A and B are shown apart, each in its own frame.
Chain A
């Protein structure tokens, strides 16, 4: 294959992948301090946009998502920890605003169900395998001596029969 073609293909693939890394953050929102900005991006990725609902505010173009992004950055500049920023948002919008549900009494079922189902499945498989093994063990009974002799006779007769 032509090397140039490969390069063109790779380059266009890279260009096509660019949107995957794009947030909705606009230049005027970005903080001067790269450390704070990075924290803001991390927080924004876990905050639900209340209008679009299944998008984080980091990727949403909605007006209120922009307001919340700016708010997150203001709280960080004011010296809030990441947890304090989340608490601030939860106080206004509830747990709904978090894309990662918190671990508390109302969400035990949500967090534990997958493990429970995996446990039930694993136990069922283990139980089935155990049953299968005991069945095999039962059928592995050896023939008695008389049966062995009888079997030998049958086999001998067979081979003689086919040879003659």
Chain B
């Protein structure tokens, strides 16, 4: 019994040390918020089109049954990282034939249409979420955020922040392929 007790401090030290090592892992982001939507149907919303932009708005029902996955990107003209991400999304739409829908989050229609005129519009549909209510339904914590919805209308992936850098881009493309993306020009 006494011998056994001698090992108790050692065991406690190993447990605390192991926990600390786990907490210090380089790829662990303690501020990342797990999404509630993964493997669940896309939330309910119905967004009108942005005034002055030619593509239509969209609702939950438009996400399912299009024949492939849809990349839903939450963006705003006032969001600087969105501008950086815009080129990546454009390439996804043109090169990888990704169907791209945009949620224009808390943005003035004039500002949004000027922004798209300036940078080009890679979106097949854009819904105006002027009061940010659809953003809350999606559980976003900021802009940009991007979701993948598969042909059954199920959310399969969430990316927080801009899709920049090779690693993020590959992860999103990989997730799109898993969700059934086909017809890439590569």
Contacts and interface: CB of A to CB of B under 8 A. Distances in A.
B17 to A, nearest CB: 16
Interface stretch (A2-10, A24-32, A64-72): A64-72
A: contact size bracket: 10 to 19
Given A71-B136, A92-B136, A64 B36 contact: no
Given A50-B141, A51-B142, A92-B139, A67 B132 contact: yes
Given A63-B132, A64-B132, A71-B136, A96 B34 contact: yes
Q: Which of B131, B138, B139 has the most CB of A within 10 A?
A: B139
A111 interface: no
Interface in B108-166: 131-133, 135-142
A27 to B, nearest CB: 19
A116 to B, nearest CB: 11
Nearest to A53: B31
A94 interface: yes
B141 A51 contact: yes
A60 B103 CA distance: 25
Say whether chain B's binding surface is mostly helix, strand, loop, or mixed: loop
A68 B137 CA distance: 11
A111 B84 CA distance: 43
Say whether chain A's binding surface is mostly helix, strand, loop, or mixed: helix
A93 B132 contact: no
Contacts of A91: 36
A92 B136 CA distance: 7
B83 interface: no
Given A64-B132, A64-B142, A67-B132, A92 B31 contact: no
A50 B33 contact: yes
A143 B150 CA distance: 90
B108 to A, nearest CB: 14
Contacts of B135: 64, 67
Nearest to A50: B141
9 shortest interchain CB distances as A-B pairs: A50-B141, A92-B139, A94-B36, A96-B33, A93-B139, A67-B132, A51-B141, A94-B34, A51-B142
11 contacts: A50-B33, A63-B106, A64-B141, A67-B131, A67-B132, A67-B133, A67-B136, A91-B36, A92-B36, A94-B33, A94-B36
